[in-house]
Amino acid sequence: MAVTVRIPATLRPMTGGAAQVQVEGKNLADVINNLESAHPGFRDRLLDESGELRKFVNLFVADDDVRYLNGLQTAVPAGETVSIIPAVAGG
């Protein structure tokens, strides 16, 4: 069963304007790989050159920040929601 990925407005051009997409994946790494396959460009926006989460992107599984869970190995149960939240900075 698929998981829902919520796409922020700044990345919606990559999904044809869709605010949510459905992809398969047992963990966050699988979800990102399948998101990349369906909508090329996401991996570069979410992961750095070493394959780790970029510092200015926050990913949540349900309401939990994956940085405080198991990072890219965080389990994503079928039917769950993954949210991509760009970091906001400024003053």
**Domain residue ranges in the chain:** 3-86
pLDDT at residue 18, as a whole number? 97
Q: Which whole-number Å values give the CA distances from 79 to 4, 27, 56, 88, 91, in the listed order?
A: 7, 12, 26, 28, 37
Tens of pLDDT, residues 51-70:
999 989 999 999 999 999 99
**Radius of gyration of the chain measured on its C-alpha atoms:** 12
Distance CA 64, CA 77 (A): 13
Tens of pLDDT, residues 3-13:
999 999 999 99
Q: Fold for domain 3-86?
A: Ubiquitin-like (UB roll) (3.10.20)
